[in-house]
């Protein structure tokens, strides 16, 4: 099975942008990310300092790997694994009833309480990673393809950020509705 190069590159570029942003925000405030990790209460305390550094590093390496044809499939699979781990951690805490913890996805700038929406969002990212893992179909790219790839990835990245803001606003809106009632 192969996939059209325009689709593959748009997915890869978008996924890379998402993970570079995510890693950069975590590296900017590792204390905060460590606090978020602790609040998940999944990893043993001993490896938490390692994870605090390793998870954003993996995100960054995965994002960079997506930009090189020879590394793309490998990086995509690594990011898929990372997404699966994140989603499992969120799902475990949702099932435990710890719905009030911060996702830790984007640091203090954008606090999102964990919800099934976040699992769904990670699912959407996993679809992108799957697309990026499939080999490319042989087709020469023209000018229009480059426009599609560049503007497509930028547009989707902005919409992804907007969707995240909506997710962060949701509990605030709920609190507002409750205080009115």
Partner 1 sequence: MPEALIISQAILWIAVAVLATVVFALVRQIGVLHERIAPIGALTIDKGPKVGEHSPLFELADLNRTPVTIGAENPTGRATLLMFVSPTCPVCKKLLPAVKSLAVSESKWLDVVFTSDGEPQAQTDFVARHRLQGFPLVLSSELGLTYRVSKLPYAVMIDHEGIVRAKGLVNTREHLESIVQAKQMGLASLQEYFGKRMAAAEAPPAVNGEGAGKQHG
Q: Which is nearer to partner 1, 41 or 69 (CB)?
A: 41
Closest approach, Cβ 73 to partner 1, in A, equals: 28
Closest approach, Cβ 159 to partner 1, in A, equals: 5
CA 143 to chain centre: 29
Residue 34 makes contact with partner 1 by CB under 8 A: yes
Pattern of binders to partner 1 over 37-66, x per CB under 8 A? -xx---------------------------
Residue 168 makes contact with partner 1 by CB under 8 A: yes
Q: What angle do CA 25, 123, 96 make, to 5 degrees?
A: 80
Q: Which one of the spans 17-25, 58-66, 70-78, 146-154 is the region binding partner 1 (CB under 8 A)?
A: 146-154
CB 109 within 8 A of CB 25: yes
End-to-end C-alpha distance for the chain, whole angstroms: 55
CB 36 within 8 A of CB 117: no
Residue 144 makes contact with partner 1 by CB under 8 A: yes
Q: Which one of the spans 51-59, 75-83, 91-99, 160-168 is the region binding partner 1 (CB under 8 A)?
A: 160-168
Q: Which one of the spans 35-43, 73-81, 83-91, 128-136 is the region binding partner 1 (CB under 8 A)?
A: 35-43
* SS3 state of residue 3: strand
In this chain, which of 32, 65, 83, 112 binds partner 1, going by CB under 8 A?
Answer: 32
Q: Taking the C-alpha atoms of 108, 110, 116 and 120 in order, what is their torsion angle to the nearest 10 degrees?
A: -120
Q: From CA 169, how far away is CA 164, in angstroms rounded?
A: 9
């Amino acid at each position: 099975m192969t996939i059209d190069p325009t689709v593959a590159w748009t997915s890869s570029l978008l996924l890379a942008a998402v993970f570079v942003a995510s890693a950069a925000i975590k590296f900017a405030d590792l204390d905060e990310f460590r606090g978020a990790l602790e609040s998940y209460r999944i990893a043993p305390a001993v490896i938490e300092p390692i994870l605090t550094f390793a998870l954003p590093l993996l995100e960054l390496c995965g994002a960079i790997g997506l930009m090189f044809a020879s590394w793309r499939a490998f990086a995509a699979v690594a990011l898929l694994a990372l997404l699966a781990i994140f989603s499992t951690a969120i799902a475990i805490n949702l099932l435990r009833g710890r719905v009030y913890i911060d996702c830790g996805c984007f640091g203090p700038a954008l606090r999102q309480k964990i919800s099934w929406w976040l699992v769904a969002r990670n699912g959407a990212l996993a679809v992108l990673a799957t697309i990026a893992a499939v080999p490319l179909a042989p087709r020469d790219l023209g000018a229009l393809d480059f426009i599609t790839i560049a503007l497509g990835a930028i547009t989707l990245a902005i919409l992804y950020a907007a969707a995240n803001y909506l997710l962060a606003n949701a509990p605030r809106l709920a609190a507002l509705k409750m205080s009115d009632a």
